Structure 1
Amino acid sequence: MEVVEAWERYAQGRTPRREVNSAGARTWLNWTQYPDHGPDESILGDLQGRTVLELGCGTGCNLAHLSTLGATCTGVDISPTQHEKAVARWGHLPGLTFHTAEVSDYLSRTDSTFDVVLSIFGPVWFTDPERLLPLIRKRLTPGGVLAFSHKPPSAGSEPVGTLREARAVTRWDYTPEEWSALLTSSGYSNSKAEIIPPPKGQEVGTLLVRACTGILFYPPLRK
């Protein structure tokens, strides 16, 4: 499958995440494309005892951090290489499991429900949202949260759906307003889309989108 092969090439070329971050922590969550920048998991509220699904979990580093906070975590990634790396590094943690699957297929097959679904530069950016967002919505518990991030569209961006990496991976570059409309039409409420400013010396920020299946007060972004 061409898409799997493209993500396999990407995975094999990735440098492993550092063992510790600038604060000396061994696990952490990073929403942006820049290390040690942007908000942390606190924007999701208390994670103790909650069920979390990460779509496009890669090597599992973000999800591993949430498991150390008391969440029961499931990660899904299309790349077998990423699965192997995730299990090798984080398979010892309790309440953390990884699966190799295309996310739409996984969501269509599973009977599990989740309090939080994450996608950090992951499949929500690379999968037709008119198909994916309703699938996620069905797997969220009442009051559950969907949160995802990716680069915001820039002037001169190619049209939505243009084939990119290895001419196999499609990217949906939507604005905050377009994401809000898509989320509302897919049954979500209380959507909030924000641009996280880049660190000093960088020009491109990060689009962070949150929505839920009920009424929810979102904790503010903290850097």
Structure 2
Amino acid sequence: MPWAPPTRAWDTYARQRPERKPTNARGETTWFNWTQYPDHGPGAELLDLPPGGRVLDLGCGKGGNAAHLARLGMEAVGIDVSAAQLRAAEERWGGMPGLDLVRADALSYLHGTAPFDAVCSVYGAVWFTDPAVLLPAVRERLRPGGMLVFSQRPPVEGCYGCQASYIPRSADEDPLVVKRWDYEPTVWEQLLDSYGYTDVRTQVLAAPPGPRTVGTLIVQARA
């Protein structure tokens, strides 16, 4: 099955994703969520941002995390290759002070932008871009001491490196296939260290109580 063009794949994915709730369990209208579960896990504090810091969300989707960072007073840039994702983001968050939503490929954007205090990716571009290319590009755009933090599903045992990720379509259509990169936490630590990052930390956050059992891999590293 051939690899799908990223724009087509992520536009299809956007139509399947539910909208973020109007408020979370604490009644907040914006919040940061690293996991695939609502009201679960740590928040924006993992980014260790200075007041008014500049932060990039790689693969921002419908913009909820980037909007929260802007609400905190940060200069937040959210990028995504999907026009459908960004339309949804603009409809809900457009006009928020401090928030800039840009349609762009992660690597192309990183090669032409000003430095950031932090870069984040929540089930986003870090999962779906070759780390041998992306990790050095991110480090080049982080200010000294800046943080890269990303989250994704932990790898399936024995299935490491470049894998196929399937985006379903209608019953009479084959799924769309994109590449993703799955590694064990120790391998992410080694990769980040090899590209000059320091203070690398990894954790697999368990799923909340309930029928779901798949946790979330969260990786932090400093430039």
Q: Same fold (TM over 0.5)?
A: yes
Q: Does 1:150 align with 2:152?
A: yes
The answer to whether 1:86 aligns with 2:78 is no
Paired with 1:6 and 1:128, the residues of 2 have a C-alpha distance of: 17
1:1-223 alignment runs, 5 A limit: 2-110=5-113, 112-155=114-157, 157=159, 159-165=160-166, 166-201=175-210, 202-213=212-223
Deviations 1:175-200 (A, max 9, x none): 11000111011111110011112111
Structure 1: where are the runs of 5+ without partners? 214-223
Equivalent position of 2:171 in the other structure: none
Give the equivalent residue in structure 2 for 1:220.
Answer: none
Q: Distance in 2 between matches of 1:114 and 1:8?
A: 27
Contact 1:196 1:206 in 2 (8 A): yes
TM-score by length of 2: 0.90
Offset from partner CA, 1:22-74 (integer Å, 9 cap, x none): 11110000011111101111233354210000000011101111111111000
Corresponding residue pairs, total: 211
Alpha-carbon RMSD across the aligned residues, in angstroms, is: 1.4
CA contact (8 A) 2:46 2:149 kept: no
Structure with the larger helix share = 1
CA distance in 2: counterparts of 1:194 and 1:86, whole angstroms = 29
Structure 2, unmatched stretches of 5+, are 167-174
CA distance in 2 between partners of 1:102 and 1:141 (Å): 21
How far apart in 2 are the matches of 1:113 and 1:46? 13
Query: Which deviates more from structure 2 when the two are superposed, residues 28-37 or residues 167-176?
Result: 167-176
Tell me the amino acid that sits aligned with residue 18 of structure 1: K
**% identical equivalent positions:** 45
Distance 1:164 1:149 in 2: 16
TM-score, L = length of structure 1: 0.90
How far 1:156 sits from its partner (Å)?
5.1
Contact 1:152 1:207 (C-alpha < 8 Å) held by counterparts: yes
The structure with the greater share of residues assigned to strand is: 2
For 1:47 and 1:11, locate their aligned partners in 2 and report how far apart those are by CA, in whole Å.
Answer: 32
Q: Does the 8 Å contact 2:49/2:117 carry over to 1?
A: no
